[in-house]
């Protein structure tokens, strides 16, 4: 009887973990492994699969549009990360001062964070519409006619426009994280710097930036991974990868490979390549998240 | 004196920057609401002004033509049940991983955490490939299970750090009195976890509510569409009636905006939760 009780006690933590492990294994781990398996096959999603070894990977790596999509993804990630963080940090620094209407401002700028990309996409496609859009109309009203563009229809500007909209959606999110980081910096550091005669710029470089170190890392990581693996919706809604693949990113190309070209095997191979590309950022994020973990 | 002038100028510059970003974020929403009340002719002619005549019938038409009622119900169904499965499941795991020492604790913890490293965008095609084989394509129940599984990693992480922050003494007294671990968990700890659950409801709830990529490849029939799918197919349909489309956008975004403004603090905290730990 006592043995049974002890056994029960020993099994308890495992039983508590069991549902999570089951669900996770069934719908994350197994699909992932299965995806890896499928990536070695030719498969259209319906007929029987045919083993073709590494051929899918060879197809993918010699596919010009795939490289175009990858290079667009990198450009996208670079600019989105850079600009989101500069604007987010800049606004946070201003908001950290004695500013009136701070709450109203934060509420407004954070609002797009809660919108779905679908809503954001539909809205901005129309704002950027060459003839009836708010942006060109606004430029015309200001007499800036020479700036008027077909923002989404000209290949040269389409990617930049989508990047701009992505930034617009997330500024508030990064601003709030930076604001929290700035407010956690001890006031004495600034006082000491001021006594030493440091200028505002010097205080920014030698107090704010080093103190925000980990906040910056988190923000940069979040924007990078977001740009690599969460931009499908917005690109799909705004340009669907066009014109002429000028806004094609990895995810849009993966999905059209699976459905438009019925190459589910190839699409899985691309997913695996994309996974390898973001793996290093994922590992970094995991490391930062678990850095303070207590495991005695 | 000079210093005073300089500070005034900097303050003015700051406010100008803030006003610029304020307008940048609010104007599209205001413009969406204006647009939703115009008729088609005015929509193209009067681009940024408020509507001259308010056409409330746009809303009725949008609601009926887009089948919004059905889509809202579908979204509520998927989000509600995904959370209903995910939160208890990840809380149980998080509790023992936070509070008990057992042999494979660390292994289980890191295994579940790898979910954070495998973003849902990458999982879309592999998940769809499995769903094809086990007949979960075109089923809301399939979406529920997948979304529940995808929110386990982050949910477990949030709950675990929350449980760790609770004082250990809480259960110790009860344990000595002969209370079982499970009873401790359900009677003493769970009632205290409201903030952690709230964080998850907002973080995972909003992610699921807005999800588009996976739903768009999994759901085929129109009557199973969630809100983002419904809006997206509205755009793809024949010639788009823009005032109607805008009315549909208002119907689905304004409730979210209202909830967000009312529960702003929880919203911002909840959405930052995954990041703030760093």
**What pLDDT shows up at residue A2?**
67
CA atoms within 13 A on the CB side of A179: 23
CA pseudo-torsion sign B43, B45, B47, B49: negative
Helices A213-229 and B120-133, axial angle in degrees (round to 10): 40
Dist. CA B199–CA A109, nearest whole Å? 21
Query: pLDDT-based confidence at B277, cuts 50/70/90?
Result: very low
CA pseudo-torsion sign B60, B261, A174, B120: negative
The total number of residues written for chain A in this structure: 296
Q: Do B271 and A173 touch (CB under 8 A)?
A: yes
DSSP string of B218-261, one letter each residue: H--SGGG--HHHHHHHHHHSSS--HHHHHHHHHHHHHHHHHHHH
Closest CA to B114 of A172, A29, A7, A84: A29
Question: Residue A41: beta bridge partners?
Answer: A51
Count CB neighbours of A276 within 10 A. Answer: 9
Dist. CA B23–CA B9, nearest whole Å? 21
**How many angstroms away from the CA of A184 is the closest CA of chain B?**
12
Give the residue from A11, A12, A17, A91 with the most B CB atoms within 10 Å of its CB, the best one to mutate: A17
**What pLDDT shows up at residue B237?**
66
- CA A155 to mean position of chain CA atoms: 23
Which ipTM was obtained for this model? 0.89
- Topology of domain B68-276, CATH: MetI-like fold (1.10.3720)
pLDDT in tens, chain A (296 residues): 667 777 877 889 999 999 999 999 999 999 999 999 999 999 988 888 899 989 999 999 999 999 999 999 999 999 999 999 999 999 999 998 878 888 899 999 999 999 999 999 999 999 998 888 889 888 888 888 888 888 998 888 999 999 999 999 999 999 999 998 898 889 888 888 888 888 888 888 888 889 888 889 888 988 888 888 888 999 999 998 888 899 999 999 999 999 888 899 999 999 999 999 888 888 888 888 777 665 54
Closest CA to B72 of B277, B223, B276: B223
The answer to whether B189 and A67 have CB atoms below 8 angstroms apart is no
Q: Which residues of B touch A236 (CB under 8 A)?
A: 212-213, 216, 232
**How many angstroms away from the CA of A172 is the closest CA of chain B?**
9
DSSP string of B18-43, one letter each residue: HHHHHHHHHHHHHHHHHHHHS-HHHH
Dist. CA B144–CA B142, nearest whole Å? 5
Helix (H, G, I), strand (E, B) or coil at A41: strand
- CA B227 to mean position of chain CA atoms: 13
B44 vs A14, A132, A267: nearest CB: A132
- Four-CA torsion B260, B196, B151, A230, nearest 10 degrees: 40
Question: Residue A42: beta bridge partners?
Answer: A50
Interval A130-147: pLDDT, tens: 888 889 888 888 888 888
Helix (H, G, I), strand (E, B) or coil at A249: coil
Dist. CA A178–CA A87, nearest whole Å? 10
Contacts of B102 (CB under 8 A, 6+ apart): A10, A13, A14, B96
List the domains of chain A with CATH numbers.
Answer: 23-289 (1.10.3720.10)
Q: Which residues of A touch B100 (CB under 8 A)?
A: 12-13
Interval A52-102: pLDDT, tens: 989 999 999 999 999 999 999 999 999 999 999 999 999 999 998 878 888
3-state helix, strand, coil in chain A (%, to 5): 75, 0, 25
Q: Do B96 and A13 touch (CB under 8 A)?
A: yes
**What pLDDT shows up at residue B43?**
86
Q: Which residues of B touch A92 (CB under 8 A)?
A: none
Residue ranges of domains in chain B:
2-55, 68-276
The answer to whether B57 and B126 have CB atoms below 8 angstroms apart is no
């Amino acid at each position: 009887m006592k043995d049974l009780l002890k056994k029960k006690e020993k099994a308890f933590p495992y039983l508590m973990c069991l549902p999570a492990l089951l669900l996770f294994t069934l719908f994350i781990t197994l699909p992932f492994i299965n995806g890896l398996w499928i990536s070695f096959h030719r498969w259209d999603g319906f007929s029987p699969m045919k083993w073709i070894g590494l051929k899918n990977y060879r197809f993918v790596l010699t596919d010009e549009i795939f490289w175009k999509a990858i290079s667009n993804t990198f450009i996208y990630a670079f600019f989105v990360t850079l600009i989101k963080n500069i604007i987010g940090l800049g606004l946070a620094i201003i908001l950290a001062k004695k500013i009136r209407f701070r709450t109203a401002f934060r509420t407004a700028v954070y609002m797009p964070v809660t919108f779905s990309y679908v809503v954001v996409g539909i809205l901005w496609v129309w704002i950027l519409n060459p003839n009836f859009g708010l942006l060109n109309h606004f430029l015309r009203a200001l007499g800036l006619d020479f700036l008027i563009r077909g923002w989404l229809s000209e290949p040269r500007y389409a990617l930049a426009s989508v990047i701009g909209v992505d930034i617009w959606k997330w500024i508030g999110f990064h601003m709030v994280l930076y604001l929290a980081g700035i407010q956690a910096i001890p006031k004495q550091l600034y006082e000491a710097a001021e006594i030493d005669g440091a200028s505002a710029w010097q205080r920014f470089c030698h107090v704010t930036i080093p103190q925000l170190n980990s906040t910056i890392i988190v923000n940069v990581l979040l924007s990078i991974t977001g740009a690599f693996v969460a931009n499908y919706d917005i690109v799909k809604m705004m340009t669907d990868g066009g014109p002429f693949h000028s806004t094609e990113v990895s995810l849009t190309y993966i999905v059209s490979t699976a459905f438009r070209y019925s190459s589910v095997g190839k699409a899985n191979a691309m997913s695996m390549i994309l996974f390898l590309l973001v793996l290093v950022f994922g590992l970094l994020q995991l490391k930062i998240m678990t850095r303070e973990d207590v495991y005695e | 004196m000079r210093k005073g002038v300089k500070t005034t100028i900097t303050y003015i510059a700051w406010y100008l920057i803030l006003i610029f970003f304020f307008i940048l974020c609010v104007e599209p929403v205001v413009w969406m609401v204006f647009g939703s009340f115009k008729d088609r002719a005015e929509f193209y002619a009067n681009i940024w002004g408020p509507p001259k005549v308010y056409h409330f019938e746009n809303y009725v038409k949008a609601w009926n033509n887009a089948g919004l009622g059905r889509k809202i119900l579908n979204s509520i169904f998927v989000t509600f049940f995904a959370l209903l499965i995910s939160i208890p499941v990840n809380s149980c795991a998080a509790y023992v991983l936070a509070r008990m020492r057992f042999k494979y604790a660390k292994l289980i913890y890191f295994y579940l955490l790898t979910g954070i490293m495998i973003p849902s965008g990458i999982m879309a095609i592999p998940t769809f490939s499995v769903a094809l084989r086990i007949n979960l394509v075109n089923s809301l129940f399939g979406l529920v299970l997948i979304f529940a599984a995808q929110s386990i990693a982050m949910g477990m992480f949030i709950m675990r750090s929350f449980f760790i922050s609770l004082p250990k003494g809480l259960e110790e007294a009860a344990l000595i009195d002969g209370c079982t671990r499970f009873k401790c968990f359900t009677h003493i700890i769970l009632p205290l976890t409201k903030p952690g659950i709230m964080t998850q409801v907002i973080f995972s709830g909003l992610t699921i509510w807005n999800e588009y990529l996976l739903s768009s490849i999994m759901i085929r029939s129109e009557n199973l569409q969630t809100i983002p799918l419904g809006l997206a197919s509205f755009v793809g349909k024949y010639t788009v009636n823009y005032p109607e489309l805008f009315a549909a956008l208002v119907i689905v975004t304004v409730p979210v905006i209202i909830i967000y403004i009312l529960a702003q603090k929880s919203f911002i905290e909840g959405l930052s939760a995954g990041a703030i730990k760093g």
